[in-house]
Structure 1
Amino acid sequence: MMGITLSSEDFPSLADSVHAKWAPVMFSPIAGSCEQFVVGVVTANDSGFYIQKANRLERLECFYGESATAAIAAIEIGFEYLEQDLLQRSLGALLEPEPAVTGFTIGNIKSSEGKSLENIAATWMTANSSLYVPEHLDLKMQKFSVSSQMDRGVGGSGDRLPFLVYEYVQAKRDGLKPFFSRDLQARQIARAKRKNQQPVIDYSGSRLVANFATLKVSAISRSFELVKLRLWDLDTVKVREHNEFHHREYELLLQRPSSNDPQITDKQQNSLESALKELESQADDKSLRLHPMDTLEQIGEHVLKKEAA
């Protein structure tokens, strides 16, 4: 009987495997609530890091409806800050996290090994999150972009103010036309979809970077969430342009109903004031400027004055 000779080469080898630390990234859409979702997994070692983000965040709409737009925006901003922190502090960003968004947290750190950092992250994301679908299961699902969800919120909000401001300023000073976003220049009411999850900025001039939004008394909760999204867009650009444009100011120009509008009830006025106070607080936290104004003309003249300074 012939004997069978086996060597170590006949068995799978883990010699080329990667050892790394990994941690889940969690987000709580409701401040102060214990309810959390795993929205990503971070893997890191001495050679670098990798972030596997959830690719089915649209499922949050099943729980939060229209409010999911703001939650998705917050998650994206949280990841942007986390990536920058990892670049600067490596594993320190996981051991002593400093999240920029409320409700965005890093879970317990564990050790693992796999073919690559990407492989480890995808494996644990599959095991821990209902907001993630592995690429090999459904490639079509991977084409879904978080940013398209955000675009539906901005573009489908029915806010015509950005287009009206563009028309007003362009009529007064045609030379400022190139500073407005392309979709405003093309009068695309649906707003062009973002590419590569880029923030939407209405106006980016030589002295002013601005977004325009309306705080609507008839839909205070919905418009409040969309205004926050426009603030986050400004903050994202401000962080990216740090040390590049010292002379530019970042402002959200907000049209709100006049305080003496007879069609607004006392209850509605109180809701508006409360929303404004919260928005101003968030703008201050990000070193942005929020300018509430009553009319389109005031907003348009503000832009003209800023660029003429």
Structure 2
Amino acid sequence: MDHSEFPTIDRGVRALWAPVLLEPIAGSYERLVVGVVAVNSDGFHLELANVLSRLNCLYGESAAAAVTAVQIAGKCLQHDLAQRSRDAILQPESAVSGVVIGECREAEGFSLEQMASSWMAALSSLYDATLGQDALVLAPEPDLMVASEASSISDRLPFLVCDYVRSQREGYSRFFSRDLQEGRARRKKGASHQVVIDFAGPKLVANFGTLRAGSLTSSIHLIKRRLWDLKVERDRETQEAFKRSHEMILHRPSMDDPQVTDQQQANISEALQALEMQADQEDLRLLTLNSVPAIGERLLRYDEAA
């Protein structure tokens, strides 16, 4: 037997690899592996799930938003890997809420592609090793605006706040948008130009947003859009006697959250300072709280304090 036929360490490549995870429900433990990335000093390879159609069995009509989010996240991760190499998975900056990078590990394989595809075959029920990536290559070019909408759908904070207020005071949930009252997506396709207001009470108008440690960039983008919506809504109130306060209320992880690193906390604080400056420029109030009940009580008690 010719020993050269056997693989050796010299013929392999060493690399960092990490799973790409879909979190369909924000704050839940539910996760699905939708990709694996392998990267070293010589390059990278991202292997994405190629049978995302299986999500239809789990999520029905909502599966389209999840598929779009995965495709957008994959496209952005490819760009980030090309720019930052290993840092793209060691210090990830998720472009889409609900799609995050998992724990990094070191491994060896024949090639980066072989390493990534092997781990995908072993870890993901949304991947078929016999199909390759043809389905993804033929998929339509993702729309960044659609990705933004997919991110907003995955933010459960407005729905949780509405549910809390409903449980505390009968009839008060009528001040939330109809979409939140009915528990359906805030946005509909083709309606991205519409102003979105989550809560419009007698004395207070408010939008809600979540500062996500694992997808801070997309969180900031959505919060800025909600701030703009608040500004537009405020400017519509021309009669001084009937003007209400307008607040952007954010949920941020507590400083002792074990799932948030010191660096992520620093990034959140820096982003928050920038958002506060923007809110001040528009004469809007930006408020941060760390629980759904705290946000709900803010709404319930505002009229009493005003």
With the length of structure 1 as denominator, give the TM-score of the two structures: 0.49
